Amino acid sequence: MNLIAIILALLTEHFYKPIVQWRNYQWFTQYEQWVYQKLEGYSFREGPVAVILIFGIIVCLVWIIAAALYNLFGLLGFLFATAMLIYCIGPTDLDEDVQAYLADIENDDAEGANHKAENILGYTVSDEPSVVANKVKEAIFIQGNNRMLGVVCWFVLLGPAGALLFRLSEIHSRTCKVENSGYADACKRLFYILSWLPARLSVLGYAIVGNFVDTMSKWQGFSDIWQADNDELVIASGLGALKHDEDEAKDEVDVPGVLDVLALVKRTLVFWLAVLAIFTLTGVLI
C-alpha cells in the first residue's frame, strides 16, 4: 500500500499544480510558538525535551488517527496516509521551480532569475548569474532530499506520522537558521538526524544511476558515509556522479549543468521507487 500511496502522491504532484496552495504550515508555526511560550520558566524549554514534546504531540496525534482509520476501515486509513504524504511533499515542485529559473536565464532576465533562484536556494542572492547557477546546482541536490526523498523515506519507515515529522522539522530548520537558542539548535539537530538516512540513500542512488567511481572519488574516506555533513556529502557526491566541477562554467551560466543535476535527482528517485516496488512485490514491504 505504501508504494501505491507514493505513486498517487507523485502523480498528484506532477499533474495537479494547484495542490501547492493547500500546503500551508502556518498552523504549526503558531502552535509551536504557543507551546514554547507556555514552557517559559521550565529549564527543559531550551533543549531536546521541548522539541520532543512540541513535535511529539502532533506526530502522535497523526499516528493515532492513522491507526484508528486503518483498524476501522482500511481504505480510509490508506486515503488518510496518501493525503498526508501529498501534504508533506514539497512544499513546491522542484522541477517547476528550476524550469522557471531557467526560463528567466534564457530570457536574459537576471533579476527575475535571481528571484526564482531564491525559491530553490532558500535565501536571497545578488551574485553574478554564473555564480548563482552553480549555487542552484548544489541546492537542487539538497532540495531533492528535503522536498521529496526524505519525505518518502520516512513515510515508508513510519507512515504518515514519519512524513509529517520530517516536513515539520525541515520547516523549522529552514525558518530558524539565524535563530540562536538551545531550542533552535535542538530542532536543527533533529532535522539533521532525520536527513541523515535520505542523504545516504541519495548518495548511493547517485553512484548507481550516475558515475560510481567519480562519486566515490569525492569522499575523503569511507568514514564519510556516516560522518560527513549531510548537505556537503550530497553535493560532492552528486557533482562527482555527473563529473561536474564546482568551478565549471565559471564565466557563463551552466544551463546544461543545471538540467543534468535535476535529471540525476529525478533518476535517483525513480531508482529508489523501483527498489521499493521490488521489495513490495517480493513481500519484504507492505
Q: What is the pLDDT of residues 216-250, one digit of tens each?
A: 776 766 677 778 899 999 999 999 888 765 555 45
- Cβ atoms within 10 Å of 14's Cβ, excluding its own: 12
Per-residue model confidence (pLDDT) at position 279 = 87
pLDDT in tens, the chain (286 residues): 788 999 999 999 988 888 988 999 999 989 999 999 999 888 899 889 999 999 999 999 999 999 999 888 889 999 999 999 999 998 999 999 999 999 999 998 988 999 999 999 988 888 888 899 999 999 999 999 999 999 999 999 999 999 999 999 998 887 765 566 888 899 999 999 999 999 999 999 999 998 887 777 767 666 777 788 999 999 999 998 887 655 554 567 889 999 999 999 999 999 999 999 998 888 755 5
Measure the CA–CA gap between 96 and 106, rounded to whole angstroms: 15
Name the residue with cell 546544461: 256
Per-residue model confidence (pLDDT) at position 246 = 53
Give the gyration radius of the chain's Cα atoms.
20
Per-residue model confidence (pLDDT) at position 248 = 52
Torsion of CA 139, 168, 56, 82, to 10 degrees: -110
Measure the CA–CA gap between 245 and 269, rounded to whole angstroms: 23
Measured N-to-C along each axis, helices 182-209 and 230-241 cross at an angle, to the nearest 10 degrees, of: 20
Measure the CA–CA gap between 170 and 147, rounded to whole angstroms: 9
Per-residue model confidence (pLDDT) at position 127 = 81
Judge whether 149 and 198 are in contact, CB under 8 Å: yes
Per-residue model confidence (pLDDT) at position 6 = 95
Per-residue model confidence (pLDDT) at position 175 = 72
Per-residue model confidence (pLDDT) at position 245 = 57
Per-residue model confidence (pLDDT) at position 42 = 87
Short-list 219, 186, 220, 187, CA closest to 203: 219
